[in-house]
A and B are shown apart, each in its own frame.
Chain A
Amino acid sequence: MSTQSQTQNRQLHWQRYRYPQSLIQFTLVLLALSALAYSIHFLNIDLQRLLSVFGRVGEVLAERYFPPDLAYISQPGYLQSVIESIQMAYLGAILGMLLAVPLAWFAAWNVTPARRWLYPLARLAIMGSRSVHEMIWTILFVTVLGFGMLPGVCALVMFCIGFAGKLFAEEIEVIDMGQVEAMQANGANPLQTFMYAVWPQVRTAWTGIAIYTWDVAFRAATVVGFFGAGGMGWYLKRNVQQLETERVAAILLSIVLLVLVSELISAWARHRLSRRRAGNQLQNA
């Protein structure tokens, strides 16, 4: 029994599992289920609590977090911290991306100047800064540099290097190599090759990634203050610890609203950019 179907451009063959395969399939499912059961047991999760959790969340929100203390978040001190968050995200994203550009260049297999040592080094730098969560970077920088906005910016820089560096490098790896080869055949050095063969090809895509990175960095910047790095997070931490739940509700509300607004702006900007890009491609074709 087999049916065939065409999905996009890949031919799918559908077939029932036969004897050895069906046994393997069954064993895998059984193993996964027992691992699931064991981890629920190991983590000591009460399944009944899981079922009632959303009712509980609603109840807690309605009882303790309502109404949000809107007067608190319209104070000038809090508004100042909102501006601080935006500034931190801005500076962190720009510095991070400035550092990410050369790293992405070195970490793209097709154009890297030295495959032997620069490529693995750049890969390691990008992966290392990506693997450590931005909160942990924040704590580390706060320990070294003290409280304030500077450690927050440093943490966001590390975050953006990992985030933008990976996307930038992926974008370089799919470029048209003809132009790179033409530059190399003319005796251009790696920097000239990058400037005249790689950069024009990835410019528009990188702008989109840059806008997206800023957006994600702002999302992180709203909470880096939780560990003492300035911005709105600091207010959040203080009120969480003082159990001022109505103020916490107001702060959370403002964070969600700001992030939604920044997401809308970034989606709009990226949409315009991709439309322009499509138009340009049409002109060139």
Chain B
Amino acid sequence: MSPLTQTFDHYSQQKRQQQWKHLAILAILLLTLLLSIHSIIIEDTDWQRIGTLEQVLASIGRFAALDFSLIPHLGVPMLETFMMACLGTLLGLFFSLPVAWFGALNVTPSRRLLYPFSRFLMTLSRSIHEMVWALIFVAAVGLGALPGILAIAMRSVGFISKIIAEAIENIDPKPVEAIRAMGGNNFQVMYYGIIPQIKTLVIGTIIFEWDINIRRSAIMGLVGAGGLGLTFFRQMAMYNYGGVTVVILAILTLILLGEIASHYVRKAIN
């Protein structure tokens, strides 16, 4: 047997093994899917309660009767939601600076202790849904805009600090060394050596996160943190479905404005 055929046999054997593995994964996925469909659509759903297609369409139709009388009352909640998103993002940035500093491998003060700890904090912050953060803070500081801001800030820390930490790990070390060689202390190294190099990326990240945070702050009112979510919740509680649609349209308007603003700011930076 020539070496070439041997290699080919080895290759085809590997290929076959891989195909079997893929088939097995696919079979498991399909089986789980069927199980889920069975328990959700057949066992759990009460089709009698949902009724016929016409009834479903009728209940969707109730949302179509827009309640325009609500519009004058939407200005203040919209402003509140907007401010909550801004303050939450800023506070999130404030919290994420130390986390990013500790979590960047090349500048962290202690690789043994602080580095894994801040990596864990990043994952934790992203893992917990903003609703859960809001519930925790509402329990701690009471109702109002403050728990919403804190919840948004905590949720943003993970993403912002991860991006900043990665940016710090990729910086050009020469300016840092130069400042060290001139006798600059840690703060001066940070301020003159690191920050100018990552500034653009950080600002871009903050704008991206701010855009998402408008979405998030619009639901903070559902657990008692003010803004458009509270208006939404009240309209829902009054079964005023037309008003609900108007509130959703207001949220969409706010998000659209945010998207336009972030587009122009990003253009101005580059």
- Interface pick from B66-74, B105-113, B140-148, B202-210: B140-148
**A133 near B216 (CB under 8 angstroms)?**
yes
A252: CB under 8 A from chain B? Answer: yes
- Interface pick from B2-10, B37-45, B182-190: B37-45
CB-contact partner of A136 in B50, B87, B149, B219, under 8 A: B219
- The B contact surface, by secondary structure, is helix
- In the complex, which residues of chain B have a beta carbon less than 8 angstroms from the beta carbon of A230? 44
**A148 near B44 (CB under 8 angstroms)?**
yes
CB-contact partner of A149 in B40, B136, B241, under 8 A: B40
| Closest A residue by C-beta to B40 | A149
**B50 near A145 (CB under 8 angstroms)?**
yes
Whether A87 touches B83, Cβ cut-off 8 Å, given contacts A53-B150, A133-B216, A148-B46, is: no
B124: CB under 8 A from chain A? Answer: yes
A126: CB under 8 A from chain B? Answer: no
Residue tally, chain B, CB below 8 Å to A: 65
Bound Cα distance from A131 to B222, whole angstroms: 17
Q: Which positions 1-53 of chain A face chain B at CB distance < 8 Å?
A: 3, 5-8, 12, 14, 35-36, 39-40, 42-46, 49-50, 53
Residue tally, chain A, CB below 8 Å to B: 64
**B140 near A223 (CB under 8 angstroms)?**
no
| Closest B residue by C-beta to A80 | B39
**B41 near A150 (CB under 8 angstroms)?**
yes
B24, chain A: closest CB distance, angstroms? 15
A160, chain B: closest CB distance, angstroms? 14
- In the complex, which residues of chain A have a beta carbon less than 8 angstroms from the beta carbon of B222? 135, 139, 227
Bound Cα distance from A46 to B124, whole angstroms: 27
A270: CB under 8 A from chain B? Answer: no
Whether A43 touches B236, Cβ cut-off 8 Å, given contacts A136-B248, A259-B128, is: no
Q: How many A-B residue pairs have CB under 8 A?
A: 159
Bound Cα distance from A170 to B212, whole angstroms: 18
Q: Which positions 30-79 of chain A face chain B at CB distance < 8 Å?
A: 35-36, 39-40, 42-46, 49-50, 53, 56-57, 60-61, 64-65
B67, chain A: closest CB distance, angstroms? 15
Q: Which positions 38-71 of chain B face chain A at CB distance < 8 Å?
A: 39-41, 44-46, 49-50, 56, 59-60, 63
Bound Cα distance from A148 to B56, whole angstroms: 15
Seen from chain A, the residues whose Cβ lies within 8 Å of a Cβ on chain B are 3, 5-8, 12, 14, 35-36, 39-40, 42-46, 49-50, 53, 56-57, 60-61, 64-65, 84, 87-88, 90-91, 94, 128, 131-133, 135-136, 139-140, 143-146, 148-150, 153, 219-220, 222-223, 226-227, 230, 236, 240, 245, 248, 252, 255-256, 259-260, 263
12 more A-B contacts (CB under 8 A) besides A143-B241, A149-B45?
Answer: A7-B171, A36-B87, A40-B87, A42-B83, A57-B136, A65-B139, A84-B44, A131-B255, A139-B232, A223-B131, A245-B139, A256-B124
Q: Nearest 9 A-B pairs (CB), nearest first?
A: A39-B83, A87-B36, A43-B145, A259-B127, A57-B140, A91-B36, A150-B45, A149-B40, A149-B44
| 29 A-B pairs whose Cβ atoms sit less than 8 Å apart in the complex | A36-B90, A39-B86, A39-B87, A43-B80, A43-B84, A44-B145, A45-B149, A53-B137, A60-B139, A84-B40, A87-B36, A88-B40, A91-B37, A131-B255, A132-B252, A136-B251, A143-B241, A145-B50, A146-B50, A148-B45, A149-B39, A219-B129, A223-B131, A227-B222, A240-B135, A255-B129, A256-B124, A259-B127, A263-B126
